[in-house]
Amino acid sequence: MSAVAAKPTAGAAVDMTAMIIGLIILLIVIAATYFYLGSGLAFMALIGVIIGGVLIGFGVHFVPVGGAPAAMGQAPGIATGVAMLAAGAGLAGLFGGAWAAEQGVVVATITGAVGGGLMMAITCMFVNFIYVYGMGIPSASGKVAKDPITGDTQAEFKSQGTEGHGLPFVSYVGGVIGGLFGGAGGTLIYIMLLEVYQEELPRMMTALPSQVLPIAVALAGMFAIGIFLVNAVLAAYNITGTIEGPHDPKFKRFPRAIVASAVASAVCGIVAIMIVAL
């Protein structure tokens, strides 16, 4: 195989043995937390972190990531890498959700989702502005003959020798859905960890709750960013770089990413919780 033809080989195949080992690691982490810390706040926080991580890993699959080919108008999607896009959407959501942290888990998570979705909607709109009015290329998907939502045909707009270009409507919708999932997941991780730290840090540092609030916020924020980036990059590895959106055949690989995100979030989450519990 020549160097040019060498593509990442993460095919669509599912390695069942590895999936089962992954689920066993997940169960061991959950059981260890339950055994050492009981079914209290810390255990609920771990479950929240795992759910948040899975939401992030799943959400990344919706985001139309084009990479360098998209920047040259040779593939559809937003012209940057998964890590950058997911970090942008997720962190925008996280900051949005953090403002609503006092109003409870549900309100904060929804606020985070709206923040992430809004960020992706604005990004996708301006990406299309630049594609259409700046680069002069129409939006056309290379993976499907008709747009699954609008029913518009794609082939006559697609330039020869490209995999499509621009940002078709279904990719735009996918981007917003991905932002919603990413923002909700990031905020959920932050809120769950913040609750644990607000409860445990005053005892651990022998200080008043109001005094340790900056520490609790900073710790929860840093762990949320860390877990977010780990999940986003693992999901990026799963789709090996570029994806058009929910209509792309690569989207069907998401079950692997859900197991991977759950295992990674559980391992990172237990460390984040143990910092106050041990």
Partner 1 sequence: MSVKVEKIEGGTPHTTIMVAGLIASVVLIYLTYLNVLTDTQYFSFFGGLATVAALVWGSHAIKNLCSYGIGTGVPSAGMIAFGSGVIAMLFATKYGILAPVVAVILAALIGVILGYVANNILNMRIPVMIQSLVEMAIIGALVLMGYAAMMTGSFEFSSLTTGSVSFLGLSLPSYQASFLGGALIATAFMLGAIAIQHPFNACLGPNWTQDRMLMLAAECGFLSMITAAVMSMPLIPLSAALVSLFVAIVGWYYTYSKYIELSRRDAAAWLDSKPIPDVEGH
* Least gap, CB of 109 to partner 1 (angstroms): 21
Question: Cβ-count burial of 178 within 10 angstroms (0-12 exposed, 13-18 middle, 19+ buried)?
Answer: buried
Residue with Cβ nearer partner 1 (11 or 134): 11
- Rounded CA-CA distance 161/144 in Å is 16
Residue with Cβ nearer partner 1 (148 or 241): 241
Nearest to 82 by CA among 63, 55, 56: 63
Question: What are the structure tokens assigned to 69, written together?
Answer: 């080919």
Q: How many residues line the site for partner 1 (CB under 8 A)?
A: 62
Taking contact as CB under 8 A, which single stretch among the options 21-29, 45-53, 162-170, 171-179 is the one that binds partner 1? Answer: 21-29
Question: What are the structure tokens assigned to 143, written together?
Answer: 């993976």
Taking contact as CB under 8 A, which single stretch among the options 92-100, 151-159, 189-197, 265-273 is the one that binds partner 1? Answer: 265-273
71 is a site residue for partner 1 (CB under 8 A): no
218 is a site residue for partner 1 (CB under 8 A): yes
Identified binder of partner 1 from the candidate list 219, 249, 252, 254, rule CB under 8 A: 219
- Integer-rounded Cα Rg, in Å, for the chain is 20
Binding marks (x or -) toward partner 1, 74..113, rule CB under 8 A?
A: -------xxxx--x--------------------------
212 is a site residue for partner 1 (CB under 8 A): yes
Residue with Cβ nearer partner 1 (145 or 278): 278
Identified binder of partner 1 from the candidate list 32, 148, 240, 251, rule CB under 8 A: 240
Identified binder of partner 1 from the candidate list 157, 162, 226, 251, rule CB under 8 A: 226
Identified binder of partner 1 from the candidate list 108, 110, 193, 268, rule CB under 8 A: 268
- Rounded CA-CA distance 111/164 in Å is 34
The set of residues, in sequence order, having a beta carbon less than 8 Å from that of 220 and lying 6+ positions away, is: 190, 191, 193, 194, 197
206 is a site residue for partner 1 (CB under 8 A): no
* Least gap, CB of 219 to partner 1 (angstroms): 7
> SS3 string of 233-257?
HHHHHHCCCCECCCCCHHHHHHHHH
- Rounded CA-CA distance 131/218 in Å is 39
Taking contact as CB under 8 A, which single stretch among the options 32-40, 142-150, 187-195, 216-224 is the one that binds partner 1? Answer: 216-224
47 is a site residue for partner 1 (CB under 8 A): no
Interface with partner 1 by CB under 8 A: which residues? 1, 3, 6-11, 13-15, 17-19, 21-22, 25, 67, 81-84, 87, 205, 207, 211-212, 214-215, 218-219, 221-223, 225-230, 232-234, 236-238, 240-242, 256-257, 259-260, 263-264, 267-268, 271-272, 274-275, 278
